[in-house]
Structure 1
Amino acid sequence: MIMKNSFKLAALLLVICIAAGAFGACKKADDGKADPEPAVTEEPVPEVDPSFEDMVVRGKTVELSTREELFAFAEHMNNLDPKYNFSGYTIKIMNDIDLDPALEGGRNWTPIFVDRYLYGAVFDGQGHTINGVTITPDDLEAEGYGEVVYGTGFFGLVGVSFTVKNVRFTNAKMESCTKHCGGVIGSIEMGADNVELDHVTVSGLVLSGGTGSENNLDGISIRAGGLVGADIQGSLVNIHDCTVEDSSVTGFHNVSGLIGCVNDGCYTIANNTVKNVHLNYSASYAENANYKNPEYSRYFSDPFYCVNSYWGEYHTDYDLENGNTYAELDSYDIRNDIHYSGEEGKDKDCTPNSEGMFPAVGGSVIRPRSERGY
């Protein structure tokens, strides 16, 4: 009996101790002192890869901080050097970069060839500005291409999935006699499953694509845009939250604020802004009699993009419903000397009068060719 009571007493004491411990723990938690923060383990920053001598590469990121590093990156891509296979990488611009060739040590730009060594890559400007890109016809042949570049832009040809985002291009000057010209991308080619431009701004662009002359189309650019020259190979392009402003784009036909020309059904274009942009086109210089007709040729420019299958028929209402906006837009039919203010003039009568002169439409004023500089 005594043993049984002793056992019960021991059990009771054990329960009391456990309860006291729990009470003490609660009291400690309620004494006004914060519990210690759990340890946070930061992701280690990859070491710089020493095998790349003229640029900084960390893990799957390329960091470009200077003009020289950006030039080196472009040259390696154009030379298709397998050592510089950056497929799936993020190429980051770390500072504002000035490419103005007038600066000491400056030179003209050769468009970057975006091919298999940039498949699925992201060009991230991180909000920085690339200023003064300058391209002339002499700059359009690079090692690795083997022929004159088909597209003119900061990026020339894009033949794989690729993203450009968070970057501002200012004061670019591009002279070209190639097929497709754009402030950012010249031509999107077959095989580019998805090309995206996200929060990209082009400001102060002067793109002189060449216009030819009466029945002489030498030295012209067909399809020119503030962002992209053309996407007519069936690749998907997604352009959103981008801006083209204070710029001038000149070409033969399919001259637009965002994309010169794109295949129907191959695009998503939303929430973009085109402001104070001048579009100059010369489709009516062609031998084709229809092109000479201003009723027809006036559809070769558009605030946002021309659709390839419709030869430039514009879809402004659809674009506005998708959040795209434009303001202070002018377009000029160079041969016919017709200046359209905005898009409203394109629905007006363009029949020449008895003296063979075409009317000013949409509140526009026709300026003499000698005053226009082209």
Structure 2
Amino acid sequence: MMRHRIEKALAERQQAFLYRQRQVVEPAGRTLLHQQQSYLNFAGNDYLGLAASQELKNAFIKGVELFGCGSTGSPLVNGFHTVYRDLEQQIADWLGFESVLLFSTGFSANSTLLKTLFGKGDTIIQDKLNHASLIDGGLASAAAHYRFNHNDTDHLKGRLDKLASAPSNLEAITTAIVSEGVFSMDGDSAPVAQLKQLAQQYQSMLVLDDAHGIGVKGQNGQGTWFDERCQNQPDILVATFGKALGLSGAFIAADNYITDYLVQFARSYIYSTALPPAQAYAMQASIELVKSQNWRREKLNNNIALFRELMAQTDFELLTSSSAIQPVIIGDADKTLHLAEYLQSRGIWAKAIRPPTVPANSSRVRITLSADHEVADIKQLVSTFQSACAAFNQGSV
């Protein structure tokens, strides 16, 4: 019975052009290798070009020499090394929070936070386009779970008004507004200052996942809420090391009482092996590079501006995004898949994003830009889009 059900589900996904496949690649900065062929890489999240930088490679190598390869345990047994303590303090000082807690993955940090911190009687209100890790965490918690229309503060306010008018023991409940800083599929930014204002007005908490803003936004890369000039920081900030910071892992930044509570009750933190200490050592170097090498953000922003300027001269539709994430909306999943295949056939690595990752009829080729990209790379990318448009019009694709 199980085999039949699984095979049926897989066949249905293939028929709808939604079947996912892994492709073996060898990343190399702005390019990658696939089956011994080189491609310009416009699909990665290495926004500042740090992952392939010699400075970060050297730091990782030194970390391995100092600390070995693995942590050998959970943070509460024998896996909390001095380098983790130092990294947590460095992040707290950089971002202005009381404390920081490290996690092995961003998905774990997000889902663990919501399902552990919020319980029966609490309410979580999330942006509809939040990452799957936040949605899963909200659904797994015992709290009431609601969604508000994407970046629609009026709709959010209506939700909060209804909650405020309902009878409750206010001392026993917490309402959390949850949003991404930069949205992973649309590339637009949350109105963080307005969200914080509403959180204060309705005595709620603001939880911000800034996976795609940290390192990129703000004068020294502190993220979206700095870039939005929000006068008060989010109550809880989650971000990953796997995007602009060039490594992997994640952290939660908050007041001491929150991180202490998570240490006591967050099962995925308590029972998971800590990330490699060499990686934490390299992360310290990455943050210093982010703070000191403003040229990386400047080059990235120039690349974003050039791409949008050149794409405006084509027939393709872009969303309103000033971030490194630049979705090219196609709509139909089949056409989107064929467009991505056309780009790949001409040396451009950019992947088709289809439902259920994005809403129905909003399939897109998701372009991600990096400080590693050169002007010639972006011109080649846009030129390939133009030739794809001509080929589609002639029916040859």
Q: TM-score, normalised by structure 1?
A: 0.22
Q: Which has the larger radius of gyration?
A: 1
Give the helix-richer structure, 1 or 2: 2
TM-score (norm 2): 0.21
Structure holding more strand per residue: 1
Higher relative CO (CA 8 A, sep ≥ 6), structure 1 or 2?
A: 2
